Amino acid sequence: MDDANAGGFLFSYEKLFGAKSLTDTDRKNAIEGKDNPITRTLRLFYVTCTSAKESLALIAYTSDTEAVKQTAIANKWFEPHEVTVVGAGSLSL
């Protein structure tokens, strides 16, 4: 999972996983029920995770590994033992 190809506005794993703050526009659109980076990223994340046939391994490239780890665990998307920091700026989920 990497935001490099998002163009800054289509999706944002960094925002979804708490490594980047939501903008005022993101919050406004969410409150108004409009499409926003979080809803688009959640859809992409869902498709990615549910497409796995036998097993799933995700790598998150991030500016804040601890925030991503804590968000993944707090949202119960992954158990603590399933999240590993594998290097500077990346986690295995």
H helix and E strand count, the chain: 4, 3
pTM of structure: 0.81
Better-predicted residue by pLDDT, 6 or 12? 12
pLDDT of res. 48: 87
> What are the sequence ranges of the domains in the chain?
3-92
- Which residues lie closer than 8 Å to 82 by C-beta, 6 or more apart? 93
Cα–Cα distance measured from residue 82 to residue 21, given in angstroms and rounded to the nearest whole number:
25
Rounded distance between C-alpha atoms, residue 29 and residue 88, angstroms: 33
CB proximity list for 83: less than 8 A, separation 6 or greater: 69, 72, 73, 91, 92, 93
pLDDT tens for each residue of 9-67: 689 999 999 999 999 999 999 999 999 989 999 999 999 889 988 888 888 888 898 89
**Residue 31, Cβ neighbours under 10 Å: how many?**
9
Asked if residue 8 has pLDDT above 70, the reply is no
